[in-house]
């Protein structure tokens, strides 16, 4: 990786909250993140994230909101 062009290959990462991130594929995955199973150039990875990250709410918020639905008044 050089300072002017950036990495050529990116990995899509996901955390326990279901949030996605792009990360240079040649680096070790940081703590709290895991590989989502997709590596490509930046545009390919962005498309992957757009297709798969359809609910921007963190997983903990989705659980609370989904658990609250259907309750009586």
Q: Residue 1 above 90 pLDDT?
A: no
Q: What is the pLDDT of residue 47?
A: 98
Is the pLDDT at 72 greater than 80? The verdict is no
Quote the pLDDT of residue 58. Answer: 82
pLDDT in tens, 41-68: 999 999 999 999 988 888 888 888 888 5
> Higher-confidence residue: 34 or 1?
34
Q: Which fold has domain 10-68?
A: Rubredoxin-like (3.90.820)
Residue whose pair of structure tokens reads 């545009």 in the numeric block? 43
Where are the chain's structural domains? Answer: 10-68
Name the 3-class secondary structure at 50. Answer: helix
Q: How far apart are CA 10 and CA 43, in angstroms?
A: 9
Contact indicator for 65, 45 with CB cutoff of 8 Å: no
CA angle (44, 46, 48) in 5-degree steps:
70
- pLDDT at res. 41: 97
| Helices and strands: H and E segment counts in the chain | 2, 3
């Amino acid at each position: 990786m050089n300072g002017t062009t950036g990495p050529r290959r990116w990995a899509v990462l996901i955390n326990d909250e279901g949030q996605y991130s792009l990360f240079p594929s040649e680096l070790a995955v940081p703590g709290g993140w895991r590989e989502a199973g997709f590596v490509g150039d930046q545009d390919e990875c962005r498309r992957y994230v757009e297709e798969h990250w359809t609910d921007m709410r963190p997983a903990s918020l989705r659980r609370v909101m989904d658990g609250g639905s259907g309750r009586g008044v």
